[in-house]
Structure 1
């Protein structure tokens, strides 16, 4: 905290990111609530949750664009202003439209805003690197992730409270969201200019920044190995909670509390681990093999988390969920810290864009496949498949740990 307080620009960056996060969460809660009141509400809710997964997939395209933008903070400020304007318009739409037409317009605006936000996300590593060069990037990234996750949790709770107090007055929720992005724009303006100079690029670079990201992963076996591993670990982790929710709903798993409280507890445990992992987990892994060691420990506890379903006990599930989320949370800052150290500033967006897209694709696909297949195949058969796959990942890590690292 002292490091943050003694660095005003870093402090302002954290405020901007927190405000953007809380604004996104406020609106998500409002949109889900509105969707639940429509006819065919299940379809509306599915559309909201599905559209939340799509923008990060565009990182592979947006990353190279972010590289070409020199004044990173100025562009981030403009993006926040555009998002502020979108939600002001969104609020006014409630005065003119209703039901599915209104829902479709709101969903579109939210999707456009989230996609614009990816531009800021892909420029953030450079801003983070520039504003406090004396602090290691891994620590700063961990702190930023913890702040964003903390405000996400707080935003979900506060958003629900505000909706209740305002009697589901969605116009005000849109305006509040607009205000958070407006304040985030002010915070980015206070940071000042963070400008990166364009490096001389050959003709191949000019053709496609995406190729640069792919080329980096092709040439850097260590980073490529970790990204592929994390993508595969996501295949294991993503569907387990939805499967657990199904078991709890069918009363096939022991829990001392009712269904809604069980879901809340698991969500809270996952969120808490996602905050503590990037902040304190980094201290457990040091040296040249810190990254591979963190992935190996994370994969081991991911396998335990998967296998814990067979205990049919929520206490065991909560413990293994916390440990898996904690150690995977520690891995992400180490991964992107390695990218920052090995990639020229002019190509960081391209490389991070490819990585972000790869990591974003697997969770929704895996969740959809395994959570929907329980209607046709035994839940425990699905879990067994995921468990075998998770053990297979651990064996691959052990086999390649010495050779690559």
Structure 2
């Protein structure tokens, strides 16, 4: 295996010299830690319910709900001029939201209401996160040079996974020391959002971006559809649709696998290392290691492989991960194959995003990015829904077999599509 040595000197220089980029990365990381705190709380609470399979499925579905509104959020952000100021205001709302949630959870102790309140609070907070993210999307093109973009994207992807792990570790430790003390977690969450606001306020840089709409333009459903159609046409002109569709169907498979693994961890001690919440953290840690290896290492032979083949290779690793779960092998086998798949995905993600930002025009970037994410996020609840139906109809063992068959069919169909487009 020929490994191309990569130095991180460029990344260090960028972070040292471009304070606005550094503070923005810090803001996003701390914000994600806060979000991860309550995602773990939700899954932990769901796993304790008598209807745990349905509850876990609901949590997974609602996790992706804000992302389904990304195109609308992207459309609305076209009107934003003072983006940093608006983001700070939304951050304040998040802080107040979790302070209010902490007060309610301290005063009222009702298990079912607790679950619903946390679920809805997370959705609202994630919607605010999504809006801020869409406002920041053009900065990937205006604040970061092309030569620096892949390193920054790699760092952002790794920090995304790391922030989830840190958030879940804090949440798991909190629940271990203070069982069922969710109001304290809400208060801690408010503190993390306040800290992200601190970093956001330190950014002093030009936040002007090219816009298709002005603040005076009227917002309408017709105009929204027209703008999205233009973005879709732009994507076709730039020849990125094949990769998007392969990623989409691949994510349907991956999300189904994720749900099956979560359900299996509840009922199968062989697939747990410690408690359920601790196993979730271990899975996230595996993802972090895979992303670190995939994002920052450069393999010459992988550089020559197109995106479609990288997706297929990652799904081959998934086949082995599913097979190990079906055979009832210890969690270590699943973690190993999951690690291989994430290394491949982690290798592809920053490279793909760098190319996407480069080829898409600045005024179309937010909408194209939102459309890509929207299509991918549609696949997430679809995969969860189909897997939930299989679980209810056939049980866990048969669902593993169906998941394995679906993955093999996807790999075969994907290779046929790649071959036809190549020739």
Give the drift of 1:305: 2.3
| 1:385 CA displacement | 3.1
Task: Report the CA distance between 1:248 and its aligned residue.
Answer: 7.4
**Is the contact between residue 93 and residue 102 of structure 1 (CA under 8 Å) also seen in structure 2?**
no
Whole-Å Cα distance in 1 between the matches of residues 129 and 363 of structure 2?
Answer: 20
Question: For 2:20, which of 5, 9, 14 is the aligned residue?
Answer: 9
- Kept in 2, the 8 Å contact 1:281–1:327? The answer is no
Contact 2:91/2:197 (CA < 8 Å) preserved in 1? yes
Cα deviation for residue 142 of structure 1 reads 1.8
1:336 aligns with 2:353: yes
- The 5 A counterparts of 1:237-276 are 237-243=254-260, 266-276=283-293
Match of 2:207 in 1: 194
Within-5 A mapping of 1:290-305? 293-305=306-318
> Which structure 2 residues correspond to residues 2-401 of structure 1 after superposition, within 5 A?
2-3=12-13, 4-34=15-45, 44-99=55-110, 100-133=112-145, 135-192=147-204, 193-198=206-211, 208-220=226-238, 222-243=239-260, 266-280=283-297, 286=303, 293-307=306-320, 309-310=322-323, 312=327, 313-314=329-330, 316-370=333-387, 372-374=389-391, 375-376=393-394, 378=398, 379-400=400-421
SS at match of 2:296: helix
Task: Give the aligned CA root-mean-square deviation in angstroms.
Answer: 3.4
| 1:300/1:106 CA distance change after superposition, 3 Å | closer
3-state SS of paired residue (1:141) = helix
Q: C-alpha displacement at 1:95, in angstroms? A: 4.0
* Counterpart secondary structure, 1:136: helix
Shift of 1:358: 0.3
Q: In 2 relative to 1, CA 284–141 (structure 1 residues): closer, same or farther, beyond 3 Å?
A: farther
Q: Residues 263 and 101 of structure 1: is their aligned pair in 2 closer, same or farther, counting only changes over 3 Å?
A: closer
SS for the counterpart of 1:195 is coil
Write out per-residue CA displacement over residues 330-353 of structure 1, whole angstroms, 9 at most, x where no aligned residue: 323233323322223222111111
Structure 1 Cα separation of the partners of residues 273 and 49 of structure 2:
30
Contact 2:78–2:212 (CA under 8 A) maintained in structure 1 = no
Mapped to 1, the partners of 2:225 and 2:261 lie a distance apart of 47
Distance 1:191 1:392, change over 3 A: same
C-alpha contact 1:295 1:327 (8 A) present in aligned 2: no
Report how far residue 361 of structure 1 moved: 1.2
- Alpha-carbon distance between aligned partners in 1 of 2:256 and 2:122, rounded to the nearest angstrom: 25
Alpha-carbon distance in 2 for matches of 1:217, 1:258: 46
- Say if 1:146 and 1:276, in contact at 8 Å, map to a contact too: no
Displacement of 1:281 after TM fit? 5.4
Q: 2-side partners of 1:231 and 1:5: how far apart?
A: 36
Is the CA contact (8 Å cut-off) linking 2:264 and 2:271 kept in structure 1? no
- The TM-score with structure 1 as length reference comes to 0.84
Q: Secondary structure at the match of 2:69?
A: helix
Q: Tell me, what secondary structure is at the counterpart of 1:194?
A: coil
Deviation at 1:9, TM superposition (A): 1.7
Distance in 2 between the 1:350 and 1:243 partners? 33
Which deviations, in whole Å up to 9, do the C-alpha atoms of 1:113-132 show, x marking residues without a partner? 11111112222332233333
Compute the displacement of 1:69 (Å).
Answer: 1.4
Residues in 1 aligned to 2:403 and 2:49: alpha-carbon distance in whole angstroms: 33
Structure 2 portions without partners, runs of 5+: 1-10
1:265-324 CA-to-partner distances (Å, cap 9, x unmatched) read 5554234323433333587655xxx6x624312312312421554463455543332222
Indicate the SS of the match to 1:191: coil
Going from structure 1 to structure 2, the CA distance change for 1:80 and 1:209 (only over 3 Å counts) comes to farther
TM-score computed with the length of structure 2 as normaliser? 0.81
Superimposed CA distance per residue, residues 172-216 of structure 1 (whole angstroms, 9 cap, x where no aligned partner): 221211121122122112112412143589999787432232222
Alignment partners' CA distance in 1, 2:132 and 2:167: 20
